[in-house]
């Protein structure tokens, strides 16, 4: 049985579970189990994890109170198990995020990116639109992407280098805690780079392998889906649509990660 958890501290976790169940029918045959995760013990049973949309500051505070922050960091960066964050979940998986009026929050990290937390403005500026997701297959129909106070990836950070050195706006920034202890383990693994999987405007997908500032006027558009090794993040909320294609795609990633792990005897 492959166990997939959804962090259920706050936000749209119920919706994710529903859509994961629907997607399991489209994913390759496996025994799937989907569970709500609220404790380190529950997390330890998971082969993959989803961090839902919601409010990242609240989610992070509750995670800290539940003693989940360190186990979550280990899950993502040491065990390197498949982890997908949507919206608030993407913010928590970023190594760097801007502060908002509500302050900063403890990040989990795992994606070498800086996110802008409320890029599109307030609740009233939320919107839905068709989005090309080339990773679903070139001829796949556009995805009905829902953006609610959505973050975007505004910068791809230098791989595995000190973020501090790179950040010029530290007073406005929260960063995931030093990865030194974890990095010695993580470093031994592959040097995954950040892949841009989808952008809101401009060319559909491109690989970004080096550190760069994303110029808002640039053709590339707003980055709304990225992957770095085992970590996947989307700005929008596939869990709020009936469309299970991304969930099915991600379950396939989870399945191959589990198979790989088995082969390595871990």
- Compute how many residues bind ligand GLN; rule: CB under 6 A: 12
Distances (CA, A) of 200 to 61, 115, 118, 205, 253: 30, 15, 15, 10, 23
Compare residues 3 and 10 and give the one whose CB is closer to ligand GLN. 10
Per-residue interface string for the shown chain with ligand GLN, residues 90-109, x marking contact by CB under 6 A: -x------------------
Q: Does the annotation mark 70 as catalytic?
A: no
Nearer to ligand GLN, 149 or 247 (CB): 149
The 3 state secondary structure assigned to the chain is CEEEEEECCCCCHHHHHHHHHHHHCCCCCCCEEEEEECCHHHHHCCCEEEECCCCHHHHHHHHHHCCCHHHHHHHHHHCCCCEEEECHHHHHHEEEEECECCECCCCCCCEEEEEECCCCCCHHHCEEEEECCHHHCCCCCCEEEEECCCCEEEEECCCCCCHHHHCCCHHHEEECCCCHHHHHHHHHCCCCCCEEEEECCCCCCEECCCCEECCCCCCCCCEEEEEECCEEEECCCHHHCCCCHHHHHHHHHHHHHHHHHHHCCC
Q: Is 55 in the site for ligand GLN (CB under 6 A)?
A: yes
Active site residue 193: no
Asked if 10 touches ligand GLN (CB under 6 A), the answer is no
Figure out which of the listed residues 7, 46, 48, 53 binds ligand GLN, where binding follows CB under 6 A: 53
Site residues for ligand GLN, window 114-133 (CB under 6 A)?
117-118
73 is in an annotated binding site: no
Q: CB under 6 A: which stretch of 23-31, 83-91, 204-212, 240-248 binds ligand GLN?
A: 83-91
The contact mask relative to ligand GLN for 12-31 (x = CB under 6 A, - = no) is --------------------
Stretch that binds ligand GLN, among 16-24, 143-151, 225-233, 239-247 (CB under 6 A): 143-151
Judged by beta carbon, residue 125 or residue 183, the one nearer ligand GLN is 125
Q: Which is nearer to ligand GLN, 11 or 71 (CB)?
A: 11
Would you please indicate which residues are annotated as catalytic (active-site) residues? 87, 237, 239
**Site residues for ligand GLN per CB under 6 A:** 53-56, 87-88, 91, 117-118, 148-149, 151
């Amino acid at each position: 049985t492959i166990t997939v958890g959804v962090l259920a501290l706050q936000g749209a976790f119920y919706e994710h579970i529903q859509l994961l169940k629907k997607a399991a029918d489209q994913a390759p045959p496996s025994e799937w189990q989907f569970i709500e995760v609220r404790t380190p013990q529950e997390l330890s049973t998971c082969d993959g994890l989803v961090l839902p949309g919601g409010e990242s500051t609240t989610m992070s505070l509750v995670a800290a109170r539940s003693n989940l922050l360190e186990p979550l960091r280990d899950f993502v960066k040491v065990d390197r198990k498949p982890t997908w964050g949507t919206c608030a979940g993407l913010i928590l998986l970023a190594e760097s995020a801007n502060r908002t009026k509500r302050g900063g929050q403890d990040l989990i990290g795992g994606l070498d990116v800086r996110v802008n937390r409320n890029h599109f403005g307030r609740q009233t500026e939320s919107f839905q639109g068709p989005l090309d997701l080339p990773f679903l297959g070139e001829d796949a129909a556009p995805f009905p992407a829902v953006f609610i106070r959505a973050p975007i990836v505004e910068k791809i950070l230098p791989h595995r280098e000190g973020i501090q050195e790179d950040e010029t706006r530290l007073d406005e920034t929260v960063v995931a805690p030093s990865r030194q202890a974890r990095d010695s383990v993580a470093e031994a693994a592959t040097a995954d780079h950040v892949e841009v999987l989808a952008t809101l405007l401009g060319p559909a997908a491109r690989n970004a392998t080096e550190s760069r500032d994303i110029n808002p006027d640039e053709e590339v558009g707003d980055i709304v889906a990225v992957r770095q090794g085992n970590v996947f993040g989307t700005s929008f909320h596939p869990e709020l649509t009936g469309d299970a294609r991304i969930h099915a795609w991600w379950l396939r990633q989870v399945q191959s990660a589990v198979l790989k792990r088995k082969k390595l005897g871990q």
